[in-house]
């Protein structure tokens, strides 16, 4: 460690104040576009700021400012059916940690994936806490639109993660481009099967709303084959029970009927299918599914799942909070859309994956 004060020229509020013949308080007012400065003074100071190419010291700024922000987050509960939401939660906590010194408090709210009402209830609780900004996963379509609209009314910026709702106008959407994600999966199928094959698409979702997202993925998947004139035979099944046993029963019936050569499961529930095939001693089948979950990785290791597509859920949570931080603290403009990478995970690279 060396002291090299001399090296860096000090252009701070003091220097600006000195040049403008005003106090630092006035400089501060101009810097933050606060009222109570004559336009002559404001003008003069602004010119000096430009000249000096002044960059505020955020450390000092945050240290001096008592300003605190409350962010609120509404996510699905981590359920026994899937621990997918653990990852965004981790990302949010990582972000919370890294900006905690900037006076940002994050309050968490959780809803039950199987209970539409709990989303509403938690939304209300969240809004009652008077958050300065909000991040949520718009799992239930109608309810999410309502929540988004209330936020807009109350001038609370909000960020959407995991899936987007086009009719809303959030500060930012962070998540996958679902259509393209399905498209990619189809390309991978084509790598494996250059000749026409029988492919089974499996959608597993209790609520029709969630199904909507899966349908976008399915649409992308199908459109690839259409575009590339692939002659695969595509069968599909929508399973609306989330319970393990009934998922497997419904699946097995269709499976035994059609005996497909490949399976594409449009969400993280792919392990339920893999498990089913294993339990019933079915022969190995090429299978693509979604998400880096412990259960899924187990089947990847055992060659029952071949490929998992992932959209960096941890990063979605992290980036979501950071966008809010950038908006509030750094006052920078954040891009409206932030698509996550569509990552391809196999048995041979999952160890190195970073969520």
**Any contact of residue 192 with DNA (CB under 7 A)?**
no
**Any contact of residue 306 with a copy of itself (CB under 8 A)?**
yes
**Cα torsion angle, 69, 86, 140, 162, sign:** positive
- Do 157 and 324 meet the contact criterion of CB atoms below 8 Å apart? yes
The residue from 2, 4, 7, 35 that contacts DNA (CB under 7 A) is: 35
Separation of alpha carbons 308 and 305, rounded Å: 7
In the complex, the smallest distance separating the C-beta of residue 12 from a copy of itself, rounded to whole angstroms, is: 12
**Any contact of residue 4 with a copy of itself (CB under 8 A)?**
yes
In the complex, the smallest distance separating the C-beta of residue 353 from a copy of itself, rounded to whole angstroms, is: 5
Nearest to 89 by CA among 78, 101, 102: 78
The residue from 56, 196, 335, 341 that contacts DNA (CB under 7 A) is: 56
**Any contact of residue 341 with a copy of itself (CB under 8 A)?**
yes
Phi (first) and psi of residue 138, to 5 degrees:
-80, 70
In the complex, the smallest distance separating the C-beta of residue 100 from DNA, rounded to whole angstroms, is: 12
In the complex, the smallest distance separating the C-beta of residue 29 from a copy of itself, rounded to whole angstroms, is: 15
Q: How many CB atoms lie within 10 A of CB 67?
A: 13
Return the number of the residue (39 or 352) whose C-beta is nearest a copy of itself.
352
In the complex, the smallest distance separating the C-beta of residue 328 from a copy of itself, rounded to whole angstroms, is: 8
162 binds, among a copy of itself, DNA, none (CB under 5 to 8 A by kind): none
Nearest-10 crossing angle of helices 39-52, 24-31: 80
294 binds, among DNA, a copy of itself, none (CB under 5 to 8 A by kind): none
Nearest to 87 by CA among 147, 144, 161: 161
Separation of alpha carbons 74 and 126, rounded Å: 8
**Any contact of residue 192 with a copy of itself (CB under 8 A)?**
yes
3-class SS of residue 225: helix
Q: How many residues sit close enough to a copy of itself to count as binding (CB under 8 A)?
A: 46
* 63 token code pair: 């240290």
**Any contact of residue 352 with a copy of itself (CB under 8 A)?**
yes
**Any contact of residue 40 with DNA (CB under 7 A)?**
yes
What dihedral angle (degrees, nearest 10) is formed by the CA atoms of 201, 205, 211, 216?
A: -40
Strands 172-175 and 337-339: parallel
Instruction: Identify the bridge partners of residue 172 per DSSP, sorted by sequence position.
Output: 159
**Any contact of residue 348 with a copy of itself (CB under 8 A)?**
yes
In the region spanning residues 70 to 109, those forming contacts with a copy of itself, defined by CB under 8 A, are 70, 101-102, 105
306 binds, among a copy of itself, DNA, none (CB under 5 to 8 A by kind): a copy of itself
The residue from 85, 173, 224, 251 that contacts a copy of itself (CB under 8 A) is: 224
- Do 102 and 113 meet the contact criterion of CB atoms below 8 Å apart? no
- Do 57 and 24 meet the contact criterion of CB atoms below 8 Å apart? no
In the complex, the smallest distance separating the C-beta of residue 78 from a copy of itself, rounded to whole angstroms, is: 24
Separation of alpha carbons 69 and 145, rounded Å: 24
Of the candidate spans 56-64, 231-239, 259-267, 309-317, the one that interacts with DNA by CB under 7 A turns out to be 56-64
**Any contact of residue 153 with a copy of itself (CB under 8 A)?**
no
35 binds, among a copy of itself, DNA, none (CB under 5 to 8 A by kind): DNA
With 0-12 / 13-18 / 19 or more C-beta atoms within 10 angstroms meaning exposed / middle / buried, residue 350 is middle
24 binds, among a copy of itself, DNA, none (CB under 5 to 8 A by kind): DNA
In the region spanning residues 57 to 76, those forming contacts with DNA, defined by CB under 7 A, are 57, 60-61, 63-67
Separation of alpha carbons 202 and 271, rounded Å: 12
Residues binding DNA (CB under 7 A): 1, 3, 10, 12-14, 21-29, 31-32, 35-42, 54, 56-57, 60-61, 63-67
């Amino acid at each position: 460690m060396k002291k090299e004060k001399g090296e860096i020229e000090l252009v701070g509020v003091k220097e600006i104040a000195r040049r403008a013949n005003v106090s630092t308080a006035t400089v501060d007012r101009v810097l933050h576009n606060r009222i109570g400065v004559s336009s002559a003074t404001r003008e003069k100071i602004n010119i000096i700021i430009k000249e000096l190419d002044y960059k505020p010291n955020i450390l000092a700024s945050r240290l001096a400012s008592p300003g605190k922000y409350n962010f609120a987050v509404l996510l699905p509960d981590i359920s026994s059916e899937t621990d997918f939401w653990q990852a965004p939660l981790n990302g949010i906590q990582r972000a919370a940690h890294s900006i905690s010194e900037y006076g940002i408090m994050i309050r968490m709210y959780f809803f039950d994936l199987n209970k539409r009402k709990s989303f509403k209830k938690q939304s209300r609780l969240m809004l009652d806490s008077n958050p300065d900004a909000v991040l949520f996963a718009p799992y239930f379509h109608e309810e999410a639109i309502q929540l988004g609209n209330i936020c807009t009314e109350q001038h609370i910026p909000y960020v959407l993660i995991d899936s987007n709702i086009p009719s809303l106008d959030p500060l930012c959407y962070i998540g996958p481009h679902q259509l393209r994600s399905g498209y990619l999966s189809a390309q991978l199928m084509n790598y494996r099967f250059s000749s026409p094959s029988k492919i089974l698409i499996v959608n597993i979702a209790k609520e029709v709303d969630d199904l909507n997202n899966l349908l976008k993925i399915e649409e992308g998947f199908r459109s690839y084959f259409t575009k590339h004139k692939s002659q695969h035979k595509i069968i599909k099944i929508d399973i609306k029970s989330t319970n393990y046993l009934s998922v497997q029963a419904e699946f097995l019936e269709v499976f035994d009927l059609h005996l497909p050569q490949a399976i594409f499961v449009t969400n993280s529930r792919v392990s339920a299918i893999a498990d089913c095939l294993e339990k019933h001693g079915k022969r190995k089948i090429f299978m693509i599914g979604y998400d880096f979950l412990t259960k899924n990785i187990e089947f990847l290791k055992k060659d029952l799942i071949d490929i998992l597509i992932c959209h960096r859920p941890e990063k979605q949570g992290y980036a979501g909070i950071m966008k809010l931080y950038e908006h509030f603290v750094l006052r920078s403009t954040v891009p409206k859309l932030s698509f996550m990478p569509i990552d391809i995970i196999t048995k041979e690279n999952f160890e190195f994956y970073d969520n």
